[in-house]
């Protein structure tokens, strides 16, 4: 019974992440070519819509770090993770469907708040699911939650591709995705309510055996730690480069493929392939021996993505774009898993604060990439030159990040005992 309950919690988490990240954040990627084709916006305007979503996600991540402490001070109780997650998911459904409105002046705000809602849904889904899995002795299923990003990308890509094949507009794509997300949210809300009632009948599980809630470090303490610890500073730099390096491909790959191969039937399936690769990559990463060095695994992930982001430029054919989707997608979630695991290994007593700071730095890296793309567009060079310059820059950034992790493996080798290794 406990195993079934843990599996259900992991599936709820996977669907929540699929909704918040895979659709809420990344459905824009396969719809953008349709919006361009329908004349809704220009490529430069599309770049700023992507930037708005990334900014929203960044501010959402900051807000999530403030909510638990504020909630505790005001109510003397822990924040209700599952209710906040459902609220973020419900907002994602509404904001996704609202993108069908023919009001371009509103889209930037819709994408901003969609990013903010996605961050809230993702963070509090993670917090609730990991806590409940620990109570059910089901922590081995935690990796299933983060396969949701790839599952959502795949599902969103397939729905958009099917809609395009019927000759429907971008507005129809947004409406369909909004309806699908709304249906998911209703099921997730029902299951969360059901689980809350179940947990209430088992008070010994619900109160975490009297555990004291963890209070994160203040921002000033984090900055002080960063200044005093060069190893932490290098880790932050490397992780920020990952955010900078992947985001142009994850935003504009279908646009680039459609420009190079306008008549290919494969173009609409490049993004779903990215999602399948991300899901399988995450699943495979959870099956690797836990004693393998995280830094070396990260160096391999960065190198793989570095090759993937330029593959479509070097091999501008169906095979090149498919391979680009696989090489960038497969390490997408695995990279985060390895980086967080390394943070827990090296800073076990401050891992929550370090991981929170890593998430913010990753978001900053993402935010910096679209302005570079936009500046190149405004320079007046052709679209292919814009893609070439921005993607080669991203590839170099990923190579630098991979080199940092490679040297970190030598300076901070993994020497965990077997019991600790299996626990991570």
pLDDT at 348: 74
Same domain, 330 and 401: yes
Q: Which domain holds residue 386?
A: 218-412+417-421
Same domain, 278 and 333: yes
Same domain, 228 and 189: no
**CA distance linking residue 36 with residue 29, whole number of Å:** 12
Residue 39, sorted as left (phi over 0), alpha (psi -120 to 50) or beta, turns out to be left
Q: Examine residue 213 and state whether it is found in any structural domain, yes or no.
A: no
What's the chain's Rg over C-alpha atoms? 21
Encoding tokens for residue 68?
A: 């638990």
Same domain, 228 and 123: no
- Minimum mean pLDDT among 145-154, 221-230, 360-369: which range? 221-230
**CA distance linking residue 399 with residue 403, whole number of Å:** 6
Q: Examine residue 71 and state whether it is found in any structural domain, yes or no.
A: yes
Same domain, 184 and 263: no
Domain end, chosen from 178, 207, 236, is at: 207
Q: Residue 385 sits in a domain of what CATH number?
A: 1.20.1250.20
Dihedral angle over CA of 27, 395, 278, 385, nearest 10: 40
Strand, coil or helix: 266: coil
Encoding tokens for residue 399?
A: 């190579």
Same domain, 121 and 4: yes
State mean pLDDT over 262-275: 87
Q: Examine residue 135 and state whether it is found in any structural domain, yes or no.
A: yes
**CA distance linking residue 206 with residue 81, whole number of Å:** 13
Same domain, 202 and 223: no
**CA distance linking residue 363 with residue 367, whole number of Å:** 6
The pTM score is 0.84
Domain end, chosen from 181, 207, 233, is at: 207
**Is the pLDDT reported for residue 371 higher than 80?**
yes
Domain end, chosen from 176, 207, 238, is at: 207
Structural domain count, the chain:
2
pLDDT in tens, 171-198: 999 999 999 999 999 999 999 888 877 7
**CA distance linking residue 411 with residue 319, whole number of Å:** 39
Residue with tokens 């916006």, as numbered in its chain: 41
The sign of the torsion formed by the CA atoms of 366, 391, 383, 27 equals negative
Q: Are 88 and 121 in contact (CB under 8 A)?
A: yes
Same domain, 196 and 232: no
**Is the pLDDT reported for residue 239 higher than 70?**
yes
Question: Percent of the chain beyond pLDDT 70?
Answer: 87
**CA distance linking residue 252 with residue 32, whole number of Å:** 8
Q: Examine residue 384 and state whether it is found in any structural domain, yes or no.
A: yes
Q: Examine residue 121 and state whether it is found in any structural domain, yes or no.
A: yes
Same domain, 291 and 396: yes
Same domain, 13 and 153: yes
Same domain, 313 and 350: yes
Closest CA to 332 of 295, 307, 302: 302
State mean pLDDT over 133-160: 88
Q: How far apart are the first and last CA of the chain?
A: 25
Range among 249-263, 304-318, 343-357 with highest mean pLDDT value: 304-318
Q: Examine residue 165 and state whether it is found in any structural domain, yes or no.
A: yes
Residue with tokens 């900053």, as numbered in its chain: 364
pLDDT at 414: 60
DSSP type of residue 102: S
Encoding tokens for residue 218?
A: 């203040």
State mean pLDDT over 25-39: 91
Q: Examine residue 72 and state whether it is found in any structural domain, yes or no.
A: yes
Q: Are 27 and 170 in contact (CB under 8 A)?
A: no
Same domain, 111 and 222: no
Q: What are phi and psi of 150, to 5 degrees?
A: -65, -40
pLDDT at 225: 55
Q: Examine residue 212 and state whether it is found in any structural domain, yes or no.
A: no
């Amino acid at each position: 019974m406990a195993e079934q309950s843990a599996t259900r919690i992991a599936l709820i988490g996977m669907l929540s992440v699929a909704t918040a990240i895979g659709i809420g954040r990344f459905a824009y990627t396969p719809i953008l070519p349709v919006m361009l084709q329908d004349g809704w916006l220009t490529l430069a305007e599309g770049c700023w819509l992507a930037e708005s979503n990334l900014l929203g996600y960044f501010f959402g991540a900051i807000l999530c770090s403030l909510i638990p402490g504020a909630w505790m001070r005001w109510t003397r109780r822990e924040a209700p993770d599952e209710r906040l997650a459902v609220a973020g998911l419900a907002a994602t459904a509404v904001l996704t469907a609202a993108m069908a409105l023919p009001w371009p002046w509103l889209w930037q705000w819709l994408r901003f708040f969609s990013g903010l809602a996605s961050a809230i849904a993702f963070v509090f889904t993670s917090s609730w699911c990991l806590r409940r899995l620990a109570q059910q002795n089901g922590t081995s299923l935690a990796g299933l939650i983060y396969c949701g990003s790839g599952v959502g990308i795949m599902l969103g890509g397939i729905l958009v591709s099917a809609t395009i094949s019927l000759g429907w507009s971008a507005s129809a794509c947004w409406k369909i995705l909004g309806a699908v997300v709304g249906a998911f949210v209703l099921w997730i809300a029902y299951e969360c309510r059901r689980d809350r009632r179940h947990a209430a009948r088992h008070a010994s599980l619900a109160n975490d055996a009297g555990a004291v809630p963890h209070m994160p470090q203040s921002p000033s303490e984090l900055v002080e730690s960063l200044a005093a610890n060069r190893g932490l500073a290098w880790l932050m730099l490397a992780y920020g480069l990952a955010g900078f390096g992947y985001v142009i491909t994850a935003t504009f790959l279908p646009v680039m493929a459609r420009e190079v191969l306008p008549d290919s039937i494969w173009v609409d399936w490049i993004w779903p392939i990215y999602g399948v690769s991300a899901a399988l990559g995450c699943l495979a990463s959870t099956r690797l021996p836990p004693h393998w060095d995280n830094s070396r695994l990260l160096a391999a992930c960065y190198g793989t993505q570095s090759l993937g982001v330029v593959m479509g430029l070097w091999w501008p054919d169906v095979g090149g774009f498919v391979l680009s989707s696989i090489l960038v997608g497969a390490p997408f979630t695995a990279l985060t898993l390895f980086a967080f695991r390394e943070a827990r290994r090296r800073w076990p007593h401050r891992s929550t604060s370090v991981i929170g700071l890593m998430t913010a730095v990753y978001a900053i890296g993402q935010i910096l990439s679209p302005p570079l793309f936009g500046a190149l567009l405004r320079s007046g060079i052709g679209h292919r030159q814009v893609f070439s310059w921005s993607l080669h820059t991203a590839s170099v950034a990923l190579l630098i990040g991979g080199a940092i992790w490679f040297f970190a493996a030598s300076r901070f080798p993994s020497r965990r005992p077997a019991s600790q290794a299996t626990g991570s």
